[in-house]
Amino acid sequence: MTRTDKKVGYKPKSKYSQDAAGAEAAARDTESALRMIEGRWKLVILYHLFVRPVMRFSELEKSISGVSQKMLIQQLRELERDGLVQRTIYPQVPPKVEYALTEFGQSLCPALDELLQWALQRGAKD
């Protein structure tokens, strides 16, 4: 049976060994990484924060059509919990809350750009 990397001509650049234990560890870590960005709105939020490094909550809410305030808050809190987004609260009236990508969140940019390129290739075939 031919290995997947030989079929597609791609050799993963990772620390994992090519045995079953390495494959299991890679699958587990990939699942953990995907859990951080799963959710209907998380990738959209991340893309908006890549374009505009700092956004207020109201700006995010206006720029993402179809998201409810409750869902946006939930998704932002999860991104903050996972260390991808930083939330800054300014003590003033009315309250001012800004969101920005952390350094860890910014490091995701090349991977999401590749994902976008991959999706565009698929769209070009249809």
Residue 16 lies in a domain: no
Q: What is the pLDDT of residue 51?
A: 92
Q: What is the pLDDT of residue 123?
A: 76
- 55 is in which domain, residue-wise? 41-126
Residue 22 lies in a domain: no
100-117 exposure pattern, b = at least 16 Cβ within 10 A, e = fewer: ebeeebeebeeeeeeeee
Cβ neighbour number for residue 79 with a 10 Å cutoff = 25
Q: What is the pLDDT of residue 58?
A: 92
pLDDT grade for 118, boundaries at 50, 70 and 90: confident
Q: What is the pLDDT of residue 66?
A: 93
Residue 112 lies in a domain: yes
Residue 9 lies in a domain: no
Residue 10 lies in a domain: no
Q: Which amino acid is located at 20 in the chain? A: A
Residue 70 lies in a domain: yes
Q: What is the pLDDT of residue 56?
A: 95
Residue 71 lies in a domain: yes
CATH of the domain at 64: 1.10.10.10
- The most confident of the ranges 26-30, 59-63, 108-112, 121-125 is 59-63
Q: Which of 70, 68, 67, 61 is nearest to 97 (CA)?
A: 61
- The 10s digit of each residue's pLDDT in 2-56 is 454 454 555 556 665 566 666 787 788 888 888 888 889 999 999 999 999 999 9
Q: What average pLDDT score do residues 74-93 get?
A: 95
Taking the model in full, what pTM does it have? 0.76
Domains held by the chain: number: 1
- The 10s digit of each residue's pLDDT in 50-80 is 999 999 999 999 999 999 999 999 999 999 9
Residue 64 lies in a domain: yes
Q: What is the pLDDT of residue 116?
A: 85
Extended beta strands in the chain, E state: 54-56, 85-90, 96-101
